[in-house]
């Protein structure tokens, strides 16, 4: 038996809501029962009364995009450089609207990058649908690379502007007959 969504992968169970076969990536355990990712997503967003909804029930499996009750895979408990460096830009790409707190004067700029770096993986996992942990890691790696690139570019640009400005001041002083050095 193969997964309904991934015909090339072996199924590990069947969703009790739609009877379709699920692979490890599509399987979500909810209240101890096996569902497929799309059924749980529908239950959670549509408020399906058929589904068990106690707040204490924790979903496991590929629970990405299912909000705060989704459990975050253990291997994602790491520092998110993309979120740290790109903050709100990363937030737009990952549906993490908390990132806009970075616009709070002073406090936002000082605190939010650290919060995002620590909580970024959790929030991004819970608020967006990802194919798998590997998919998530791959995309976050790209974000980190972009963050690094942008940071380096901005640093170089600021240094050039600073040096140009200093040069202009020295030149101006020399023109008016003052020797600064
Ligand atoms: Zn289903
Ligand atoms: Zn699948």
Convert the pLDDT of each residue in 4-49 to its tens digit: 999 999 999 999 999 999 998 899 988 888 999 888 888 877 665 5
pTM higher than the cut 0.85: no
- What is the distance in A from the centroid of ligand 1 to the CA of 135? 22
For 24, 48, 72, 147, the CA distances from 36, given in Å and listed in that order, are 10, 15, 17, 34
For residue 105, how many other CB atoms are within 10 A of its CB? Answer: 7
Is residue 117's pLDDT more than 90?
Answer: yes
- What is the distance in A from the centroid of ligand 2 to the CA of 38? 11
pLDDT top residue among 101 and 65: 101
Say if residues 83 and 125 touch (Cβ distance below 8 Å).
no
The proportion of the chain whose per-residue pLDDT surpasses 90, expressed as a percent, equals 64
pLDDT top residue among 57 and 150: 150
- CA atoms within a 13 Å half-sphere pointing along the CA-CB vector of 108: 10
Ligand showing the shortest atom-to-Cα distance for residue 15: 1
- What is the distance in A from the centroid of ligand 2 to the CA of 75? 20
C-alpha 36/C-alpha 54 separation (Å) is 19
Say if residues 91 and 128 touch (Cβ distance below 8 Å).
no
pLDDT of residue 48: 57
pLDDT of residue 54: 54
pLDDT top residue among 74 and 85: 85
DSSP 56-102: T--BEES-TTSGGGBPPPGGG-S--HHHHHHHHHHHHHTT-GGGGGG
pLDDT top residue among 67 and 164: 164
- What is the distance in A from the centroid of ligand 1 to the CA of 2? 14
Residue with tokens 């239950």: 43
User: Residue 135: pLDDT band by 50, 70, 90 thresholds?
Assistant: very high
Mean pLDDT across 130-154: 96
pLDDT of residue 22: 94
- CA atoms within a 13 Å half-sphere pointing along the CA-CB vector of 41: 15
- What is the distance in A from the centroid of ligand 2 to the CA of 14? 11
């Amino acid at each position: 038996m193969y997964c309904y969504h991934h015909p090339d992968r072996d199924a590990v169970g069947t969703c009790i809501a739609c009877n379709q076969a699920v692979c490890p990536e599509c399987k979500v355990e909810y209240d101890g029962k096996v569902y497929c990712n799309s059924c749980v997503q529908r239950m959670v967003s549509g408020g399906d009364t058929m589904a068990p909804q106690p707040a204490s029930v924790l979903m496991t499996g590929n629970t990405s995009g299912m909000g705060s009750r989704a459990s975050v895979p253990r291997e994602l408990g790491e520092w998110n450089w993309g979120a740290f460096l790109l903050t709100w830009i990363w937030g737009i790409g990952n549906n993490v609207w908390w990132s806009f707190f970075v616009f709070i004067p002073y406090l936002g700029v000082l605190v939010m990058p650290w919060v995002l770096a620590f909580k970024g993986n959790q929030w991004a996992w819970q608020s967006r649908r990802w194919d798998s942990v590997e998919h998530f890691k791959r995309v976050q790696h790209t974000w980190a690379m972009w963050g690094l690139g942008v940071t380096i570019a901005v640093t170089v640009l600021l240094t050039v502007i600073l040096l140009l400005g200093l040069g202009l001041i020295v030149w101006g002083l020399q023109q008016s007959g003052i020797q600064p050095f």
